[in-house]
Amino acid sequence: MQEYMCNRGYQTLINVAVLSGIGDGLYNIVFVIYAGSLSFSTLAVSLASMATLVPSLLSMLTGYFADQSRHKVRAILVTRNLQFVLFLILAFLITLPRNIWLFFLLLSINIVSDTLGTYGNGLALPLLRHLLPENKLKQSMGFMVAMTLMAQVVFQGIGSVIIVMLHHNYMVVGLINALTFLLSALLVKYRFGVLCVAEPQMVERKQVSMIRSLGLTLRYLYRNNFLFSVIILTFFINVFGASMSGLINVTLLSVKTMWLVNYGISVAIMNMMISIGMITGSLVTNGIVRKLPLMYLFAISLSFSGLCGISFIWHESAYLSIVLLFVMGYFIGKINPRISAIVLQSIPEKRLAAVDGLLNMVSMLGAPVGQLLFLGIANVVGIAYSWFAFSIGCFFLIVIIVLKFIKMDEPMF
Protein backbone atom coordinates (compact mmCIF):
# COMPACT_ATOMS: atom_id res chain seq x y z
CA MET A 1 0.00 0.00 0.00
CA GLN A 2 2.84 2.42 0.85
CA GLU A 3 4.48 1.74 -2.52
CA TYR A 4 1.14 2.46 -4.21
CA MET A 5 0.78 5.82 -2.43
CA CYS A 6 4.35 6.98 -3.10
CA ASN A 7 5.24 5.52 -6.49
CA ARG A 8 3.29 7.38 -9.18
CA GLY A 9 4.31 5.08 -12.01
CA TYR A 10 3.32 1.94 -10.12
CA GLN A 11 0.13 3.70 -8.99
CA THR A 12 -0.75 4.49 -12.61
CA LEU A 13 -0.25 0.92 -13.81
CA ILE A 14 -2.41 -0.40 -10.96
CA ASN A 15 -5.16 2.13 -11.71
CA VAL A 16 -5.09 1.15 -15.39
CA ALA A 17 -5.30 -2.54 -14.44
CA VAL A 18 -8.17 -1.83 -12.02
CA LEU A 19 -10.15 0.06 -14.67
CA SER A 20 -9.71 -2.88 -17.03
CA GLY A 21 -10.76 -5.21 -14.20
CA ILE A 22 -13.94 -3.18 -13.69
CA GLY A 23 -14.83 -3.49 -17.37
CA ASP A 24 -13.96 -7.19 -17.52
CA GLY A 25 -15.86 -8.08 -14.35
CA LEU A 26 -18.94 -6.16 -15.41
CA TYR A 27 -19.07 -7.34 -19.02
CA ASN A 28 -18.05 -10.99 -18.57
CA ILE A 29 -20.85 -11.81 -16.12
CA VAL A 30 -23.37 -9.87 -18.21
CA PHE A 31 -22.25 -11.70 -21.36
CA VAL A 32 -22.78 -15.06 -19.63
CA ILE A 33 -26.29 -13.89 -18.68
CA TYR A 34 -26.83 -12.78 -22.32
CA ALA A 35 -25.63 -16.21 -23.52
CA GLY A 36 -27.95 -17.93 -21.03
CA SER A 37 -30.92 -16.08 -22.53
CA LEU A 38 -30.35 -17.45 -26.05
CA SER A 39 -32.25 -20.38 -27.53
CA PHE A 40 -28.98 -22.38 -27.68
CA SER A 41 -28.07 -21.42 -24.10
CA THR A 42 -25.98 -24.47 -23.09
CA LEU A 43 -23.75 -24.13 -26.17
CA ALA A 44 -23.58 -20.33 -25.83
CA VAL A 45 -22.66 -20.39 -22.11
CA SER A 46 -20.02 -23.06 -22.76
CA LEU A 47 -18.47 -21.03 -25.61
CA ALA A 48 -18.61 -17.79 -23.62
CA SER A 49 -16.76 -19.51 -20.78
CA MET A 50 -14.17 -21.06 -23.10
CA ALA A 51 -13.53 -17.81 -24.98
CA THR A 52 -11.91 -16.20 -21.93
CA LEU A 53 -9.03 -18.68 -22.33
CA VAL A 54 -8.10 -17.70 -25.90
CA PRO A 55 -5.97 -14.63 -24.96
CA SER A 56 -3.90 -16.77 -22.59
CA LEU A 57 -3.30 -19.30 -25.36
CA LEU A 58 -2.02 -16.45 -27.54
CA SER A 59 0.12 -14.91 -24.77
CA MET A 60 3.40 -16.24 -26.21
CA LEU A 61 2.59 -14.43 -29.46
CA THR A 62 1.55 -11.21 -27.71
CA GLY A 63 4.56 -11.49 -25.39
CA TYR A 64 6.91 -11.69 -28.38
CA PHE A 65 5.45 -8.52 -29.90
CA ALA A 66 5.50 -6.79 -26.49
CA ASP A 67 9.24 -7.54 -26.15
CA GLN A 68 9.87 -6.25 -29.68
CA SER A 69 7.91 -3.01 -29.11
CA ARG A 70 10.35 -0.12 -28.73
CA HIS A 71 7.92 2.47 -27.34
CA LYS A 72 6.03 0.43 -24.75
CA VAL A 73 4.12 3.27 -23.07
CA ARG A 74 2.89 4.57 -26.42
CA ALA A 75 1.85 1.02 -27.36
CA ILE A 76 -0.14 0.70 -24.11
CA LEU A 77 -1.96 3.92 -24.99
CA VAL A 78 -2.81 2.70 -28.50
CA THR A 79 -3.98 -0.65 -27.13
CA ARG A 80 -6.44 0.92 -24.68
CA ASN A 81 -7.83 3.19 -27.41
CA LEU A 82 -8.39 0.18 -29.70
CA GLN A 83 -10.24 -1.63 -26.91
CA PHE A 84 -12.41 1.46 -26.43
CA VAL A 85 -13.37 1.47 -30.12
CA LEU A 86 -14.08 -2.28 -30.16
CA PHE A 87 -16.53 -2.04 -27.28
CA LEU A 88 -18.25 0.96 -28.81
CA ILE A 89 -18.92 -1.23 -31.85
CA LEU A 90 -20.02 -4.14 -29.63
CA ALA A 91 -22.41 -1.92 -27.67
CA PHE A 92 -24.38 -1.16 -30.83
CA LEU A 93 -24.18 -4.66 -32.34
CA ILE A 94 -25.62 -6.26 -29.19
CA THR A 95 -28.92 -4.43 -29.77
CA LEU A 96 -29.52 -6.35 -33.03
CA PRO A 97 -31.92 -9.33 -33.20
CA ARG A 98 -30.32 -12.34 -31.53
CA ASN A 99 -29.03 -15.24 -33.60
CA ILE A 100 -26.04 -17.56 -33.55
CA TRP A 101 -24.03 -15.51 -36.06
CA LEU A 102 -24.41 -12.33 -34.05
CA PHE A 103 -23.35 -14.26 -30.94
CA PHE A 104 -20.16 -15.44 -32.70
CA LEU A 105 -19.41 -11.87 -33.83
CA LEU A 106 -19.82 -10.49 -30.30
CA LEU A 107 -17.69 -13.33 -28.96
CA SER A 108 -14.97 -12.56 -31.52
CA ILE A 109 -14.89 -8.86 -30.57
CA ASN A 110 -14.52 -9.80 -26.93
CA ILE A 111 -11.67 -12.21 -27.73
CA VAL A 112 -9.81 -9.58 -29.80
CA SER A 113 -10.18 -7.01 -27.02
CA ASP A 114 -8.95 -9.43 -24.35
CA THR A 115 -5.99 -10.39 -26.56
CA LEU A 116 -5.06 -6.71 -26.87
CA GLY A 117 -5.29 -6.52 -23.08
CA THR A 118 -2.85 -9.43 -22.74
CA TYR A 119 -0.46 -7.63 -25.10
CA GLY A 120 -0.79 -4.50 -22.94
CA ASN A 121 0.00 -6.50 -19.81
CA GLY A 122 3.19 -7.78 -21.45
CA LEU A 123 4.18 -4.19 -22.27
CA ALA A 124 3.80 -3.22 -18.61
CA LEU A 125 6.10 -5.94 -17.20
CA PRO A 126 9.44 -4.20 -17.92
CA LEU A 127 7.99 -0.96 -16.56
CA LEU A 128 7.10 -2.68 -13.28
CA ARG A 129 10.60 -4.13 -13.05
CA HIS A 130 12.11 -0.63 -13.28
CA LEU A 131 9.51 1.02 -11.04
CA LEU A 132 9.69 -1.42 -8.10
CA PRO A 133 12.59 -2.21 -5.76
CA GLU A 134 13.47 -5.93 -5.70
CA ASN A 135 12.74 -6.36 -2.00
CA LYS A 136 9.16 -5.16 -2.52
CA LEU A 137 8.44 -6.95 -5.77
CA LYS A 138 6.54 -9.96 -4.39
CA GLN A 139 4.38 -7.84 -2.07
CA SER A 140 3.74 -5.23 -4.78
CA MET A 141 2.74 -7.85 -7.33
CA GLY A 142 0.39 -9.41 -4.77
CA PHE A 143 -1.22 -6.02 -4.15
CA MET A 144 -1.63 -5.41 -7.88
CA VAL A 145 -3.26 -8.82 -8.42
CA ALA A 146 -5.53 -8.28 -5.42
CA MET A 147 -6.72 -4.83 -6.51
CA THR A 148 -7.46 -5.99 -10.05
CA LEU A 149 -9.38 -9.02 -8.81
CA MET A 150 -11.24 -6.89 -6.28
CA ALA A 151 -12.47 -4.65 -9.08
CA GLN A 152 -13.59 -7.70 -11.08
CA VAL A 153 -15.40 -9.23 -8.10
CA VAL A 154 -17.24 -6.07 -7.09
CA PHE A 155 -18.38 -5.36 -10.63
CA GLN A 156 -19.36 -8.97 -11.28
CA GLY A 157 -21.83 -8.54 -8.45
CA ILE A 158 -22.90 -5.13 -9.69
CA GLY A 159 -23.25 -6.50 -13.24
CA SER A 160 -25.68 -9.26 -12.22
CA VAL A 161 -27.83 -6.69 -10.41
CA ILE A 162 -27.57 -3.75 -12.79
CA ILE A 163 -28.55 -5.78 -15.86
CA VAL A 164 -31.87 -6.60 -14.14
CA MET A 165 -32.36 -2.96 -13.11
CA LEU A 166 -31.69 -1.94 -16.73
CA HIS A 167 -34.26 -4.48 -17.96
CA HIS A 168 -31.48 -6.42 -19.74
CA ASN A 169 -30.23 -3.42 -21.71
CA TYR A 170 -26.90 -4.92 -22.80
CA MET A 171 -25.97 -1.85 -24.83
CA VAL A 172 -25.53 0.24 -21.68
CA VAL A 173 -23.15 -2.33 -20.18
CA GLY A 174 -21.13 -2.36 -23.40
CA LEU A 175 -20.85 1.43 -23.29
CA ILE A 176 -19.75 1.34 -19.64
CA ASN A 177 -17.03 -1.15 -20.56
CA ALA A 178 -15.91 1.07 -23.43
CA LEU A 179 -15.72 3.97 -20.97
CA THR A 180 -13.35 2.04 -18.68
CA PHE A 181 -10.90 1.59 -21.55
CA LEU A 182 -11.19 5.26 -22.48
CA LEU A 183 -10.41 6.26 -18.89
CA SER A 184 -7.42 3.89 -18.90
CA ALA A 185 -6.10 5.55 -22.04
CA LEU A 186 -6.58 9.03 -20.56
CA LEU A 187 -4.75 7.99 -17.39
CA VAL A 188 -1.79 6.65 -19.37
CA LYS A 189 -1.75 9.88 -21.38
CA TYR A 190 -1.82 11.96 -18.18
CA ARG A 191 1.14 10.08 -16.66
CA PHE A 192 2.90 9.53 -19.99
CA GLY A 193 6.10 11.26 -18.91
CA VAL A 194 6.35 9.39 -15.60
CA LEU A 195 5.92 6.03 -17.31
CA CYS A 196 8.38 6.85 -20.11
CA VAL A 197 11.12 7.41 -17.50
CA ALA A 198 10.68 3.78 -16.43
CA GLU A 199 10.71 2.52 -20.02
CA PRO A 200 13.79 0.33 -20.61
CA GLN A 201 16.28 1.53 -23.20
CA MET A 202 16.09 -0.73 -26.26
CA VAL A 203 19.58 -1.76 -27.35
CA GLU A 204 20.01 -1.96 -31.11
CA ARG A 205 20.19 -5.64 -32.00
CA LYS A 206 19.33 -7.94 -34.85
CA GLN A 207 15.63 -8.71 -35.08
CA VAL A 208 14.96 -12.23 -33.82
CA SER A 209 12.25 -14.17 -35.65
CA MET A 210 9.26 -15.38 -33.69
CA ILE A 211 10.21 -19.04 -34.18
CA ARG A 212 13.80 -18.46 -33.03
CA SER A 213 12.56 -16.39 -30.07
CA LEU A 214 10.27 -19.25 -29.07
CA GLY A 215 13.15 -21.72 -29.31
CA LEU A 216 15.45 -19.55 -27.19
CA THR A 217 12.73 -19.03 -24.61
CA LEU A 218 11.97 -22.74 -24.39
CA ARG A 219 15.67 -23.52 -24.02
CA TYR A 220 16.02 -20.97 -21.25
CA LEU A 221 13.05 -22.36 -19.33
CA TYR A 222 14.22 -25.95 -19.80
CA ARG A 223 17.46 -25.03 -18.03
CA ASN A 224 15.51 -23.50 -15.14
CA ASN A 225 14.38 -26.70 -13.42
CA PHE A 226 11.94 -25.02 -11.04
CA LEU A 227 10.11 -22.88 -13.62
CA PHE A 228 10.02 -25.79 -16.06
CA SER A 229 8.37 -27.96 -13.38
CA VAL A 230 5.91 -25.16 -12.59
CA ILE A 231 4.91 -25.00 -16.27
CA ILE A 232 4.28 -28.75 -16.39
CA LEU A 233 2.18 -28.67 -13.22
CA THR A 234 0.17 -25.58 -14.14
CA PHE A 235 -0.64 -27.18 -17.49
CA PHE A 236 -2.28 -30.14 -15.76
CA ILE A 237 -3.78 -28.02 -12.97
CA ASN A 238 -5.45 -25.80 -15.58
CA VAL A 239 -7.03 -28.87 -17.18
CA PHE A 240 -9.20 -28.78 -14.03
CA GLY A 241 -9.12 -25.20 -12.75
CA ALA A 242 -9.90 -23.37 -15.98
CA SER A 243 -12.93 -25.58 -16.66
CA MET A 244 -14.47 -24.95 -13.25
CA SER A 245 -16.19 -21.66 -14.09
CA GLY A 246 -17.79 -23.13 -17.21
CA LEU A 247 -18.91 -26.23 -15.30
CA ILE A 248 -20.48 -24.05 -12.60
CA ASN A 249 -22.28 -21.95 -15.23
CA VAL A 250 -23.68 -25.04 -16.97
CA THR A 251 -24.55 -26.77 -13.67
CA LEU A 252 -26.62 -23.83 -12.48
CA LEU A 253 -28.64 -23.85 -15.70
CA SER A 254 -30.30 -27.11 -14.65
CA VAL A 255 -29.71 -27.54 -10.89
CA LYS A 256 -32.04 -24.96 -9.36
CA THR A 257 -31.44 -26.31 -5.84
CA MET A 258 -28.08 -24.49 -6.01
CA TRP A 259 -29.65 -21.16 -6.99
CA LEU A 260 -29.35 -18.09 -4.81
CA VAL A 261 -32.32 -15.92 -5.90
CA ASN A 262 -31.88 -16.51 -9.67
CA TYR A 263 -29.45 -17.87 -12.27
CA GLY A 264 -27.56 -14.62 -12.91
CA ILE A 265 -26.95 -13.82 -9.24
CA SER A 266 -26.01 -17.45 -8.54
CA VAL A 267 -23.40 -17.47 -11.33
CA ALA A 268 -21.99 -14.16 -10.09
CA ILE A 269 -21.73 -15.25 -6.45
CA MET A 270 -20.19 -18.65 -7.21
CA ASN A 271 -17.55 -17.13 -9.48
CA MET A 272 -17.03 -14.18 -7.16
CA MET A 273 -16.14 -16.44 -4.24
CA ILE A 274 -13.12 -17.80 -6.11
CA SER A 275 -11.97 -14.24 -6.81
CA ILE A 276 -12.65 -13.07 -3.24
CA GLY A 277 -10.54 -15.97 -2.00
CA MET A 278 -7.76 -15.00 -4.40
CA ILE A 279 -7.90 -11.38 -3.25
CA THR A 280 -7.67 -12.45 0.38
CA GLY A 281 -4.80 -14.80 -0.37
CA SER A 282 -2.91 -12.07 -2.26
CA LEU A 283 -3.41 -9.41 0.43
CA VAL A 284 -2.75 -11.51 3.56
CA THR A 285 1.06 -11.64 3.62
CA ASN A 286 1.55 -12.98 7.15
CA GLY A 287 0.79 -16.34 8.72
CA ILE A 288 1.95 -19.91 8.32
CA VAL A 289 0.61 -20.25 4.76
CA ARG A 290 3.13 -17.64 3.56
CA LYS A 291 5.97 -20.02 4.47
CA LEU A 292 4.56 -23.06 2.71
CA PRO A 293 6.51 -24.18 -0.39
CA LEU A 294 4.83 -23.57 -3.73
CA MET A 295 4.35 -27.30 -4.34
CA TYR A 296 2.40 -27.63 -1.08
CA LEU A 297 0.15 -24.76 -2.20
CA PHE A 298 -0.50 -26.54 -5.50
CA ALA A 299 -1.54 -29.73 -3.68
CA ILE A 300 -3.78 -27.93 -1.17
CA SER A 301 -5.59 -25.87 -3.83
CA LEU A 302 -6.19 -29.05 -5.86
CA SER A 303 -7.64 -30.82 -2.83
CA PHE A 304 -10.25 -28.10 -2.39
CA SER A 305 -10.98 -28.18 -6.14
CA GLY A 306 -11.76 -31.89 -5.83
CA LEU A 307 -13.99 -31.26 -2.82
CA CYS A 308 -15.84 -28.57 -4.81
CA GLY A 309 -16.58 -31.16 -7.48
CA ILE A 310 -18.03 -33.50 -4.86
CA SER A 311 -20.21 -30.70 -3.48
CA PHE A 312 -21.69 -30.05 -6.93
CA ILE A 313 -22.39 -33.76 -7.40
CA TRP A 314 -24.32 -33.69 -4.11
CA HIS A 315 -25.87 -30.31 -5.16
CA GLU A 316 -27.84 -29.88 -1.94
CA SER A 317 -25.94 -26.98 -0.36
CA ALA A 318 -24.88 -23.94 -2.33
CA TYR A 319 -23.29 -22.55 0.84
CA LEU A 320 -20.92 -25.51 1.19
CA SER A 321 -19.80 -25.01 -2.40
CA ILE A 322 -19.30 -21.30 -1.76
CA VAL A 323 -17.02 -21.97 1.24
CA LEU A 324 -14.96 -24.52 -0.69
CA LEU A 325 -14.62 -22.15 -3.66
CA PHE A 326 -13.40 -19.40 -1.34
CA VAL A 327 -10.74 -21.58 0.31
CA MET A 328 -9.58 -22.87 -3.07
CA GLY A 329 -9.29 -19.28 -4.31
CA TYR A 330 -7.35 -18.29 -1.17
CA PHE A 331 -4.56 -20.75 -1.95
CA ILE A 332 -4.53 -19.79 -5.64
CA GLY A 333 -4.10 -16.20 -4.45
CA LYS A 334 -0.92 -17.29 -2.68
CA ILE A 335 0.42 -19.04 -5.78
CA ASN A 336 0.05 -16.42 -8.54
CA PRO A 337 2.02 -13.47 -7.03
CA ARG A 338 4.83 -15.81 -6.01
CA ILE A 339 5.24 -17.12 -9.56
CA SER A 340 5.03 -13.56 -10.98
CA ALA A 341 7.74 -12.31 -8.62
CA ILE A 342 10.04 -15.23 -9.49
CA VAL A 343 9.59 -14.51 -13.20
CA LEU A 344 10.22 -10.77 -12.84
CA GLN A 345 13.36 -11.26 -10.74
CA SER A 346 14.96 -14.21 -12.52
CA ILE A 347 14.24 -13.64 -16.24
CA PRO A 348 16.43 -11.37 -18.44
CA GLU A 349 14.62 -8.16 -19.31
CA LYS A 350 14.83 -8.65 -23.08
CA ARG A 351 12.85 -11.91 -22.73
CA LEU A 352 10.55 -10.91 -19.89
CA ALA A 353 7.24 -10.66 -21.76
CA ALA A 354 8.07 -13.68 -23.96
CA VAL A 355 8.87 -15.91 -20.98
CA ASP A 356 5.83 -14.69 -19.06
CA GLY A 357 3.71 -15.24 -22.17
CA LEU A 358 5.11 -18.72 -22.66
CA LEU A 359 4.40 -19.58 -19.02
CA ASN A 360 0.81 -18.44 -19.46
CA MET A 361 0.41 -20.07 -22.86
CA VAL A 362 1.81 -23.50 -21.99
CA SER A 363 0.02 -23.65 -18.65
CA MET A 364 -3.23 -22.51 -20.24
CA LEU A 365 -2.98 -25.08 -23.01
CA GLY A 366 -4.48 -27.36 -20.40
CA ALA A 367 -7.54 -25.13 -20.24
CA PRO A 368 -9.14 -26.00 -23.60
CA VAL A 369 -8.35 -29.67 -22.92
CA GLY A 370 -10.27 -29.41 -19.66
CA GLN A 371 -13.04 -27.34 -21.20
CA LEU A 372 -13.54 -29.76 -24.09
CA LEU A 373 -13.31 -32.80 -21.82
CA PHE A 374 -15.48 -31.73 -18.88
CA LEU A 375 -17.94 -29.50 -20.73
CA GLY A 376 -18.12 -32.18 -23.41
CA ILE A 377 -19.03 -34.81 -20.80
CA ALA A 378 -21.57 -32.38 -19.31
CA ASN A 379 -23.27 -31.78 -22.66
CA VAL A 380 -23.17 -35.39 -23.92
CA VAL A 381 -23.45 -37.60 -20.80
CA GLY A 382 -24.47 -35.39 -17.89
CA ILE A 383 -23.14 -32.80 -15.48
CA ALA A 384 -22.82 -35.21 -12.51
CA TYR A 385 -20.51 -37.50 -14.52
CA SER A 386 -18.44 -34.48 -15.50
CA TRP A 387 -17.95 -33.39 -11.88
CA PHE A 388 -17.09 -36.99 -10.89
CA ALA A 389 -14.31 -37.18 -13.50
CA PHE A 390 -13.17 -33.71 -12.41
CA SER A 391 -12.78 -34.70 -8.74
CA ILE A 392 -11.03 -38.01 -9.48
CA GLY A 393 -8.55 -36.17 -11.73
CA CYS A 394 -7.78 -33.57 -9.03
CA PHE A 395 -6.98 -36.20 -6.41
CA PHE A 396 -4.85 -38.19 -8.86
CA LEU A 397 -2.77 -35.07 -9.64
CA ILE A 398 -2.23 -34.49 -5.91
CA VAL A 399 -0.68 -37.96 -5.68
CA ILE A 400 1.66 -37.11 -8.59
CA ILE A 401 2.76 -33.86 -6.88
CA VAL A 402 3.46 -35.64 -3.58
CA LEU A 403 5.48 -38.39 -5.28
CA LYS A 404 7.44 -36.29 -7.81
CA PHE A 405 7.56 -32.57 -6.95
CA ILE A 406 6.91 -31.96 -3.26
CA LYS A 407 10.61 -31.83 -2.23
CA MET A 408 11.79 -29.59 -5.06
CA ASP A 409 13.89 -26.59 -3.98
CA GLU A 410 12.16 -23.27 -4.61
CA PRO A 411 14.17 -20.13 -5.55
CA MET A 412 14.22 -17.64 -2.69
CA PHE A 413 14.44 -13.86 -3.16
Give the residue from 114, 141, 119, 115 showing the smallest Cα distance to 128: 141
Is 231 part of any domain?
A: yes
pLDDT at residue 206, rounded to an integer? 56
pLDDT at residue 399, rounded to an integer? 92
pLDDT at residue 307, rounded to an integer? 93
Q: What string of H, E and C letters represents the secondary structure of 222-288?
A: HHCHHHHHHHHHHHHHHHHHHHHHHHHHHHHHHCHHHCECEHHHHHHHHHHHHHHHHHHHHHCCCCH
pLDDT in tens, 354-377: 677 777 777 777 777 887 888 888
Is 390 part of any domain?
A: yes
Which residues span the domain enclosing 264? 10-198+223-404
> Is the pLDDT assigned to residue 14 strictly greater than 90?
no
Is the dihedral angle over the CA atoms 301, 304, 309, 315 positive or is it negative? negative
Task: Tell me the CATH number at 368.
Answer: 1.20.1250.20
Is 214 part of any domain?
A: no
pTM listed for this prediction: 0.71
> Is the pLDDT assigned to residue 286 strictly greater than 70?
no
Is 218 part of any domain?
A: no
Is 215 part of any domain?
A: no
Is 135 part of any domain?
A: yes
- Residue 207 main-chain phi, psi, to 5 deg: -65, 130
Residue 202's pLDDT band (cuts 50, 70, 90): low
pLDDT at residue 131, rounded to an integer? 76
Is 155 part of any domain?
A: yes
In angstroms, the Cα distances linking 348 to 158, 217, 280, 354, 355 are 41, 11, 31, 10, 9
Is 217 part of any domain?
A: no
* Domain count along the chain: 1
CA angle 102, 105, 106 (to 5 degrees): 90
> Is the pLDDT assigned to residue 33 strictly greater than 60?
yes
User: For residue 131, what are the contacts with CB-CB under 8 A and spacing of at least 6?
Assistant: 7, 9, 10, 13, 198
Ramachandran area for residue 200 (φ above 0: left; ψ -120 to 50: alpha; else beta): beta
Give the residue from 249, 377, 240 showing the smallest Cα distance to 302: 240
